[in-house]
A and B are shown apart, each in its own frame.
Chain A
Amino acid sequence: GGIITQTPKFLIGQEGQKLTLKCQQNFNHDTMYWYRQDSGKGLRLIYYSITENDLQKGDLSEGYDASREKKSSFSLTVTSAQKNEMAVFLCASRGTVYAEQFFGPGTRLTVL
């Protein structure tokens, strides 16, 4: 088995601030993902990476940057936090057999 960890668990920022979220996995999976989850809007893909140093934009990449410097880690940066923004950011990695994704516990963002 393996585990995905996300830090921090809670993130409070100010409007306009640059904020970074981190994700680590020890499954040794190649592909990792960042999703945003808003109440009532399902899961929206922000970025994904199929290998170290690879980045692929998802449907919601505007306003975000990502970085995959190591196979085990994948970071997401909110380039300019929007006032009253509240969402949960979920990191995931993809299994090798059935392409199922395993999710981390999430980072809950609040922007004041």
Chain B
Amino acid sequence: GDSVTQTEGLVTLTEGLPVMLNCTYQTIYSNPFLFWYVQHLNESPRLLLKSFTDNKRTEHQGFHATLHKSSSSFHLQKSSAQLSDSALYYCALTSSGQKLVFGQGTILKVYL
């Protein structure tokens, strides 16, 4: 079945440094939809980015990601981390449209 791998459980950064959270996936379907969700403390997950177009950069709220089907990747990036970016980030995939498969999540902690 489909799967999503987020290799880092915890990423810690100093404010102002670039952010990169890794996401790779496996699916037999050629047209998956990929998503990044962000979950702040005591809140529910909120959609941050989505993409289904190969090699096209998608951006929202300072974050960006590009779906690369050749490497089955959808890494989340930001040029300069802010304290308010501290949260839990999930990468997710759907190939059927009915079910989302989530990665284990990456906690991002940004310090002064």
Contacts and interface: CB of A to CB of B under 8 A. Distances in A.
Interface of A: 31, 40-43, 45, 48, 50, 56, 58, 90, 94, 98-106
Interface of B: 9, 33, 35, 43-47, 50, 52, 90, 94, 97-100, 102-105
Contacts of B104: 40-42
B103 A42 contact: yes
Contacts of B45: 43, 90, 103
Contacts of B52: 98
Contacts of B100: 45, 99, 101
User: Do most interface residues of chain A lie in helix, strand or loop, or is the interface mixed?
Assistant: loop
Contacts of A90: 44-45
A100 B50 contact: yes
A98 B50 contact: yes
Given A42-B104, A105-B44, A99 B90 contact: no
